[in-house]
């Protein structure tokens, strides 16, 4: 975490040593001695006090300090500072030839001097480091001892600067100043890109999708990214790291909306990610990894009744059978992609390789009332509820409304109504389950005709997969029972199924640290809504930041956030990016599937 010099000067001994004890590798005695010399007028004064302590120490303590450092390129490094520094110099992913050379040089150096090779590697390239090792191994023992201590002092200065980053940054212009107002303004601009005037409606592969994508790509390029559209209609902006071609941290959310939507669902996360990369670009910062900001073309699934299309393609789980799904006008997804200028056959090329991806972050409005009830602007998502979606068609017999007796009717709509009530009853008494019928249609749709067909949707969600799947089985059985009783038939087409997804523990911790650094109370909460992170979880670890929305209202024109909350959310994401340290790859998780 970062603190100010004033706060450091006011700390008791234990807190001071806990914060600064790792500045010199596994040597908290240096921080203990420096504590007695408070207050410090500047960062320089603090660093000098600690260096003076090392200089005044006896030779055996200095030697122990040098021996406490890990070898460069070591496979296991306990100290967090050393792990970050070596990772930034590419020493955690050395090519095999370099790795062998490092091992040999480390062995030769240690045999000659009795301690590991030490160098302040931050900001240096691997080849530069190896060249320095080859040169320094020829030094006289006393000369190299002095050089090693000097490198330790340089390392300590980097670490002190990191801890007191807020003090160093105080004199610099804040690259995130006014970001909340910028995010709301850009959301307003995108909200005006709509298929239906007076609403926010922007569905997949429409002219409005194209215009929104153009605007977002322009903002990405202004923020220093290379931007393009992929074969499924995602907008991708890439910000290279310290060198081209590094593995990337993915950040994203979706550009599409439901019909008559709010302005912030999905798009806030894309805009916040662009703002964060733009702030890094202003400071000429290039992290030891690349960043890819993705605006997914379709998450909501409004047009083709199949959700998470963009994120599934990136994760490599896109089901090509959905290309034959038709929209309300009878246009297949395959045809719509071609008309949009995209090649359906190239969708498989979008899939990322696991070794090229470091993780995924998504900032999103909460779409629920928890943060507002707790009076908190942001929260840390722990998990995303699993979901099942289906289309249910009930077929009976049309007839004259005046001549068919009630007992002889095969009313599809009445049967559908009874099934819907059974769905509600199945979910009502289980707090871990929600069930929604959000769409219904009857035909032929005349006032004086008994409905011969009724079609409706089913949406089931639960953080517990067994609960959700058990409810689905019961609903299918209840639907069939009601259909038999009423003399109708029922057909159930399950269009989507996704298991519950747990957010990565280490990414939750990184988000919590960023929130705490802003002085905001940390709050963990689960997500009942689905997100693109569900699909990306099959590719890599995922983390999510929630931003408070008024009344918990979403998928509604009344969806609302404040400028202040938008800024806090973006600042949390910005801090996570600047402190992000890649972790080793973990096995992918099972995730959603879309039955064909």
pLDDT digits (tens, 9 = 90+) for 463-503: 899 999 999 999 999 999 999 999 999 999 998 888 999 99
Q: What is the pLDDT of residue 5?
A: 85
User: Domain count of the chain?
Assistant: 3
Contact 434/390 with Cβ under 8 angstroms?
A: no
User: Based on the domain organization, do 34 and 123 belong to the same domain?
Assistant: yes
Lowest mean pLDDT across 135-149, 202-216, 245-259: 135-149
586 is a domain residue:
no
Average pLDDT of the residues in 446-451: 97
Q: Which of 498, 524, 552 is the last residue of a domain?
A: 498
**Mean per-residue pLDDT of the chain:** 91
User: Based on the domain organization, do 434 and 492 belong to the same domain?
Assistant: yes
From CA 385, how far away is CA 298, in angstroms rounded?
Answer: 19
80 is a domain residue:
yes
Average pLDDT of the residues in 344-359: 97
Question: CB within 8 A of 91, min separation 6: which ones?
Answer: 72, 73, 102, 121, 126, 129
Q: What is the pLDDT of residue 438?
A: 94
User: Based on the domain organization, do 447 and 516 belong to the same domain?
Assistant: no
Q: What is the pLDDT of residue 78?
A: 55
CA-based nearest residue to 386, from 589, 130, 522: 589
Above 60 in pLDDT, residue 365? yes
Average pLDDT of the residues in 325-341: 97
448 is a domain residue:
yes
User: Based on the domain organization, do 508 and 414 belong to the same domain?
Assistant: no
Q: Which of 134, 169, 204 is the last residue of a domain?
A: 169
Above 60 in pLDDT, residue 39? yes
User: Based on the domain organization, do 57 and 165 belong to the same domain?
Assistant: yes
595 is a domain residue:
no
Owning domain of residue 489: 386-498
Above 90 in pLDDT, residue 44? no
From CA 415, how far away is CA 83, in angstroms rounded?
Answer: 63
Instruction: Please report which confidence band the pLDDT of residue 103 belongs to, taking 50, 70 and 90 as the band edges.
Output: confident
Above 50 in pLDDT, residue 585? no
589 is a domain residue:
no
From CA 530, how far away is CA 307, in angstroms rounded?
Answer: 9
Q: What would the pLDDT profile of 147-169 be if each residue is shown by its tens digit?
A: 899 899 889 988 898 888 766 65
Contact 437/397 with Cβ under 8 angstroms?
A: no
- Residue whose entry in the numeric block shows the structure tokens 């801890």: 163
Q: What is the pLDDT of residue 591?
A: 43
User: Based on the domain organization, do 254 and 396 belong to the same domain?
Assistant: no
Q: What is the pLDDT of residue 1?
A: 60
Give the pairing type, strands 290-296 and 453-462: unpaired
Q: What would the pLDDT profile of 178-230 be if each residue is shown by its tens digit?
A: 999 999 999 999 999 999 999 999 999 999 999 999 999 999 999 999 999 99
Question: What predicted TM-score, i.e. pTM, was given to this entire model?
Answer: 0.66
Structure tokens at 213: 């994508």
Task: Say which CATH number the domain at 101 has.
Answer: 1.10.3330.10
User: Based on the domain organization, do 247 and 276 belong to the same domain?
Assistant: yes
From CA 75, how far away is CA 170, in angstroms rounded?
Answer: 37
Q: Which of 498, 513, 545 is the last residue of a domain?
A: 498
Average pLDDT of the residues in 425-448: 95
User: Based on the domain organization, do 376 and 507 belong to the same domain?
Assistant: yes
Instruction: Please report which confidence band the pLDDT of residue 76 belongs to, taking 50, 70 and 90 as the band edges.
Output: low
User: Based on the domain organization, do 238 and 266 belong to the same domain?
Assistant: yes
User: Based on the domain organization, do 294 and 214 belong to the same domain?
Assistant: yes
Tell me the three state secondary structure of residue 491. Answer: strand
Instruction: Please report which confidence band the pLDDT of residue 56 belongs to, taking 50, 70 and 90 as the band edges.
Output: confident
191 is a domain residue:
yes
364 is a domain residue:
yes
Q: Sign (positive/negative) of CA torsion 33, 36, 37, 43?
A: positive
User: Based on the domain organization, do 454 and 543 belong to the same domain?
Assistant: no
Question: CB within 8 A of 384, min separation 6: which ones?
Answer: 500, 501, 503, 526, 527, 529, 530, 531, 533, 534, 544
174 is a domain residue:
no
Q: What would the pLDDT profile of 385-410 be if each residue is shown by its tens digit?
A: 999 999 999 999 999 999 999 999 99
Above 50 in pLDDT, residue 590? no
Task: Say which CATH number the domain at 217 has.
Answer: 3.40.630.10
Structure tokens at 34: 């420096």
DSSP character at residue 26: T
Q: What is the pLDDT of residue 296?
A: 98
Tell me the three state secondary structure of residue 45. Answer: helix
Structure tokens at 556: 């509604």
User: Based on the domain organization, do 39 and 103 belong to the same domain?
Assistant: yes
Above 80 in pLDDT, residue 129? yes
Q: What would the pLDDT profile of 285-317 be if each residue is shown by its tens digit?
A: 999 999 999 999 999 999 998 999 999 999 999
> Higher pLDDT residue, 346 or 47?
346
CA-based nearest residue to 233, from 294, 305, 162: 294
Q: What would the pLDDT profile of 558-584 be if each residue is shown by its tens digit?
A: 999 999 999 999 999 999 999 998 875
Task: Say which CATH number the domain at 405 has.
Answer: 3.30.70.360
């Amino acid at each position: 975490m970062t603190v100010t010099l004033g706060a450091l000067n006011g700390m008791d001994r234990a807190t001071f040593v806990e914060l600064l004890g790792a500045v010199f590798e596994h040597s908290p005695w240096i921080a203990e001695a420096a504590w007695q010399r408070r207050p410090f007028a500047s960062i320089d004064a603090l660093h000098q006090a600690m260096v003076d302590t090392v200089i005044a120490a006896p030779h055996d303590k200095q030697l122990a300090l040098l021996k406490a450092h890990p070898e460069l390129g070591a496979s296991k490094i306990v100290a967090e500072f050393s792990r970050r520094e070596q990772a930034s110099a590419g020493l955690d992913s050395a090519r095999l030839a370099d790795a062998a050379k490092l091992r040999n040089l480390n062995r030769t150096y240690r045999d000659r001097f009795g301690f590991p090779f030490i160098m302040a590697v931050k900001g240096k390239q691997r080849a530069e480091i190896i060249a320095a090792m080859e040169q320094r191994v020829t030094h006289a023992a006393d000369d190299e001892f002095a050089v090693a201590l000097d490198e330790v002092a340089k390392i300590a200065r980097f670490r002190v600067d990191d801890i007191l980053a807020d003090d160093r940054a105080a004199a610099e212009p804040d690259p995130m100043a006014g970001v909340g107002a910028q995010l709301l303004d850009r959301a307003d601009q995108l909200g005006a890109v709509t298929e239906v005037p007076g609403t926010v409606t922007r569905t997949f592969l429409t002219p409005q999708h194209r215009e929104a994508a153009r605007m977002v790509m322009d903002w990405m390029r202004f923020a220093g990214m290379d931007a393009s559209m992929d074969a499924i209609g995602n907008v991708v902006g890439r910000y290279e790291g310290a060198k081209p071609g590094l593995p990337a941290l993915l950040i994203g959310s979706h550009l599409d909306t439901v019909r008559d939507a709010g302005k912030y669902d999905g798009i806030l996360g894309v805009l916040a990610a662009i703002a964060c990369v733009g702030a890094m670009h202003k400071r000429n910062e290039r992290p030891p990894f690349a960043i890819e900001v993705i605006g997914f073309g379709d998450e909501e699934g409004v047009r083709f009744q199949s959700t998470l299309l963009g994120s599934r393609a990136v994760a490599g789980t896109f089901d090509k059978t959905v290309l034959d799904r038709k929209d309300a006008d009878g246009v297949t997804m395959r045809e719509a992609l071609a008309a949009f200028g995209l090649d359906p056959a190239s969708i498989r090329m979008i899939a990322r390789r696991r070794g090229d991806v470091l993780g995924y972050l998504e900032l999103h409005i909460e779409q629920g009332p928890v943060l507002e009830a707790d009076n908190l602007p942001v929260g840390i998502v722990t998990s995303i509820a699993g979901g099942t979606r289906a289309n249910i068609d009930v077929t009976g017999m049309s007839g004259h409304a005046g001549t068919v007796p009630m007992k002889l009717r095969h009313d599809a709509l009445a049967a559908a109504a009874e099934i819907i009530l059974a769905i509600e009853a199945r979910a009502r008494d289980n707090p871990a389950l929600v069930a929604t019928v959000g769409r219904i249609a009857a035909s032929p749709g005349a006032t004086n005709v008994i409905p011969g067909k009724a079609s409706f949707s089913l949406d089931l969600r639960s953080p517990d997969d067994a609960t959700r799947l058990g409810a689905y089985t019961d609903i299918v059985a209840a639907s069939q029972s009601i259909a038999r009783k009423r003399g109708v038939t029922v057909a159930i087409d399950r269009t989507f199924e996704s298991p519950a997804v747990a957010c990565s523990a280490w990414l939750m911790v990184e988000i919590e640290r960023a929130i705490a650094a802003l002085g905001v109370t940390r709050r963990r909460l689960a997500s009942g809504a689905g997100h693109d992170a569900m699909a990306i979880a099959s590719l890599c670890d995922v983390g999510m930041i929630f931003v408070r929305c008024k009344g918990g209202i979403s998928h509604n024109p009344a969806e609302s956030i404040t400028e202040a909350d938008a800024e806090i959310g973006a600042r949390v994401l910005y801090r996570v990016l600047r402190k992000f340290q890649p972790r080793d790859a973990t096995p992918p998780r099972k995730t959603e599937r879309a039955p064909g």
